[in-house]
Amino acid sequence: MNLSDLKEIWLENSFRPEKSLGQNFLVDNNIRDKLINAYAPKNNETVVEIGPGFGMMTFRTASVCRRVIAVEKDSRICGIMEPLFIGGGNITLLNKDILEVDIAALAPPGEKMKVIGNIPYCISTPIIDALISSRRSVASAYLVMQDELVDRIVSPPGSREHGSISCFVQYFTKAKKAFRISRNCFFPRPAVDSSLLALEFLPEPSVKVSDEKLFFTVIRRAYSERRKRVINPLSAGGFLGMDKKDWERIFTNCRVDPLARAEDLTLEEFARISDAAADLSRG
């Protein structure tokens, strides 16, 4: 499918894209093939596609995997595409919002799925959060999303882009920026370029912590004033019932530089700090 094919379908069905749904459709066949090579769907896999649109990726994916479950929120698109998807034989179309779908329930018993999608920029983070919540049923995810957000997610400690979302995603996954995609490959053309984010869900989190909820609470607090020394937001306002001297002792015992900023700390260092804070608060 190219741009002229897409416009013909729209003309025949009086379709206009909805900006509120973040509808920017891929119209570059070379990028489609590059994405398929990156996804590498296998004949024994179930693939969930978020936002199949007019099938640019769907039919090619279905031709090489066992089953595609296409989740499309726009009922207008579903009305147009359902007869074509049914004809594919191994494509199931769900007219639902992916954020309202029990993703884990889509997986065949005892199996894990692969998730792909060109996802709306405005809900990229909630979608990643939903996939992480369903990680026991998802082996990997390949998401086309805003280039800037992908850079933040994959950024290492010490970089300016590194933040709480980097820590969250890298705790549960091995995250990689596969390649960049020009905004000119989509119609309507978005305001920014995209990238393919590849997520491999880890069998266990990348670091061990005694209290996962506290671990992320500490990280969010640390990044609440990211340009300050990390000990400042942690020791302000009696956070976790501890004063600055308590936090200084924690940093010393954990061998973490109290002059560092949040972006300089590794997940391992945050784990040591949160475990020590849990022990001290209980004591």
| Contacts of residue 58, Cβ cutoff 8 Å, sequence gap at least 6 | 49, 52, 68, 70, 85, 88, 91
Task: Write out pLDDT tens, residues 29-79.
Answer: 999 999 999 999 999 999 999 999 999 999 999 999 999 999 999 999 999
What was the pLDDT predicted at 283? 60
Domains within the chain, CATH numbers bracketed:
3-201 (3.40.50.150), 212-282 (1.10.8.100)
Mean pLDDT, the chain, rounded, equals: 95
What mean pLDDT do residues 205-220 have?
Answer: 97
pLDDT of 244 over the 90 cut: yes
118: left (phi over 0), alpha (psi -120 to 50) or beta: beta
Q: What is the pLDDT of residues 9-29, one digit of tens each?
A: 999 999 999 999 999 999 999
- Asked if the model's pLDDT at residue 281 lies above 80, the reply is no
Q: Is the pLDDT of residue 247 over 80?
A: yes
Confidence of residue 88 (pLDDT cuts 50, 70, 90): confident
Global model pTM greater than 0.75: yes
